Structure 1
Amino acid sequence: MRFNGLHNYIIIIGNSLILYSAFLTSRVWKITLIFVGLAILGFYACFGIDGLIQYRHEKQYQKMKELNKTENML
């Protein structure tokens, strides 16, 4: 797993949302922020930074493949 700046930012954002929710008085906002923070951390735990990079590369590969198809048609 590569530890770069994005790795740190994702964890900081997820944790700070959960911690910030402790200072809110509104119960709805408190629960919302806790779930958003957990969702960010959970998504990151499941896919990780390598998973996100691989997903982006696959998307780019699909675009290139379709571009080659259209060029071959011409």
Structure 2
Amino acid sequence: MIASPVPETIPPLRWGQLTYYSPADIKRWGVQHFLDTVAPTQALPIPDLGFTAEENARMDELLREERAAAARGL
């Protein structure tokens, strides 16, 4: 009887730090298993960056302008 290999543990992502996974490791673990293990299950919280309401409105306006320009091919 051949014993199945003990599954290797995948190191978790460390938020706020650089976490590096080599392509060879991901291939060895299996892409779907890797994604199931390290991908966030909930939306990531966006920290309050301290912008004022006016600054947020201006950024939203700039994004709308950029999207419109991109749609026109500029």
Q: Same fold (TM over 0.5)?
A: no
Rg (Cα) greater in structure:
2
Q: TM-score with structure 2 length normalisation?
A: 0.31
Tell me which of the two structures has the higher relative contact order, counting C-alpha pairs closer than 8 angstroms and 6 or more residues apart: 1
Q: TM-score with structure 1 length normalisation?
A: 0.31
Greater percentage in helix? 1
